[in-house]
Structure 1
Amino acid sequence: ALASLALVVAEDLGAALARHSQLAVTAQAAVQSVAARAHGDLVRMAELLKACFLVGGGLRRTPEGRLRLSLHLISGEDALYLWSLQEDLEAQPASGLLDERIAAWAAEVDLQVSVAWARRQHADGAGDDARDLVRDANSALFARGWAEDSVRAALDFYRHAIAVDPGHALARAQKAIVMALAGNMGLLPGAAARAEALSEAEQALELEPRNSEVLGYAGCALADLGDPRRALPFIQRAVDTNPGNPQAWAALGATQLILGETERGIEQLQRGLRLSPDDYRRPVWYTLLSGALQRLERLDEAASAAEAACRADPRFWPARIVRAGIELERGHRAAALAALREAWHIRPCLSPEELRVWVRKRRFEALLAVWREARPLTPS
């Protein structure tokens, strides 16, 4: 029974990975055939499959009767472990839960492959392939956090990718959402930047109108650029095309929040987080979730989501602002002050205008007073 389940997990994980447009994934039947010929030699197996990376793992029973899954990303050129995951499941996991976990594992493998590939390209001095440049752009934000310099670096990679391959729809879609989010955060101001983001989103949708990733990113960009009703059908199509796409679910939730559908927005954001619990985009999703829960006066849950956003990325300063606003509403002024001081430490140029983006209107003046107290002393 365990061997049969392992085969199902391997097959479904391969299919889930294949839905990520940046990855070319070998069919599981071919992998099994080559594995038999390679006799455990992973480097030879990768050579025969013409694969840069291998995904391996196993299932076993724990002494408590649960299932323990291990998952590894392995370099094809030297059989070194690049990343590993271990997770315990129920002894007989429900089909729906297993599907959800497989989608989450696929999203995490996709991220880890992007990071590993960017490191390899950097070490080799390569970088003229559009797909590699998109991975470099993602790594710039993942490694350095949201700030003016990291946004500029990511946009340079996206522009280079588009120059290399003007038909690369995902580069345009990701560039659009990064520009839209950065503009809303105050990191990329100006009407010209918004117009460029809108143009890239429109072109991405024209190039790849059926690709889930492109639909999710470009649709979310349209919503963040001020047109959520037009964005909604594109994002819904992204979810319908690939229900395992966590970004599409998060984009759907964020768009529903903009439209005032708070309960539904919370549900979809939570689904995106369940599908990709270790995603590098978690800080943004948790911060949006926290604000939505605060809107419904579910302050304890909102505080937990804000804390999760802070843990997910120690450099994501908007999460500290949202957390400060929630703590102030809960009557915890000292905690609000501490959160704002953390935001100041991460972003010394933090302004009241940036504060206003993340705080409820009726609480802005109260938080502004705490902000003035939190502001570090400067020489006169």
Structure 2
Amino acid sequence: MKDILIITNYFPPEIGAASNRIFHLAEGLQKRECNVSVITPLPNYPKGEIFNDYKGRFKFSSIENNIKVYRLWLYANNSKSKLLRLFAMISYSLSLICFFCFNKIPKTVIIQSPPLLVAFTSILFLKSKNRKLILNVSDLWPLAGLELGAFKRNSIYRLLQKIEHYNYKKADLILGQSEEILSHIQSIFPKKDTFLYRNYPQIEAPKVLQKHNSDNKIKMVYAGLLGVAQGIYKLCHELDYSRVEFHIYGDGAERSLIKNFIESNTDLPIYYHGELTRNKLHESIIQYDLTIIPLLNRIYGSVPSKIFEYSKLGIPIIYFGGGEGETLIENNKLGWIAKAGDYTDLNNTINKISTAELQKIRASIRKQAFQVFNLEKQLDSLIKTI
């Protein structure tokens, strides 16, 4: 039985795509006769506060689904201050170093990146101990930060690039969540071993709902992070509501702005439903006709995991984010594409969709998703590589 350690910033009971991805990876490896352990911070995402059950602890360990989980202290916050966010990463990095010094580390280690600093700390410390290091790259930092406006092309950006390149160079194998991520890495290190590891969810097959809308209105839903990158607040302003109701689930930096907009525009069919657990959310959003997956700006390397999750629920998708996600939607016939950042094109696309068409394609979307976005087959291939 192979011993594998996973180092990550996100893990259940935290919610979201990142924690789900790492949980399914750990669980899948465990089921394939690996002895898996996980190092992660004390739960704090997305509010930036340590969860009540873990407050007052410096560390906490437990066995969860036959996986040994070590939860370490960090300075939790969700401040917009770059200095405070940096301090949070440094605090977790220091906790990792202490753990490495006083605990036996398995020969194979999977390290989540970003955050770059945590990955750098892990690689720098463990490479000297002759471990096989597998870097799991879910976003291209600092490039993604540059495209989001978080960084400028200055000395700090160049320093982060050096850290990024060091991480790639020292990793024995790199897992990437998109073809664009792997292309970027191989443009820097052409001979680097890579593996495409998509963020496929593990969910039960839902019952496809047959619905009839007498008013011919499309009930569109967004569920997820209400952050700046998703641009839901701007979307509320720009949508043409003549044929669409807009329902919103989630939490994040724009929540208050969105709620205030809804309260100030009671004539518009916009509804905010708060935040739900994953299972409750699936039960709720399957009732809608269409889901939208937006990105305010196209981010190179980013493929939203909602594509895989919502298609498995059988919900038609309108994709409004550009990049590799468009190819996945088009090639697998999962819905419609609107030109990224073009709200006129988005509204025109929505207005051309008939409610009858939305119902007709639900079963075929679900069938295609379960055939193509298969986590078990992906894990079978991965275990042969590591």
Does the TM-score normalized on the shorter chain lie above 0.5?
no
Q: Structure 2-normalised TM-score?
A: 0.30
Greater RCO, 1 or 2 (C-alpha within 8 Å, sep 6+): 2
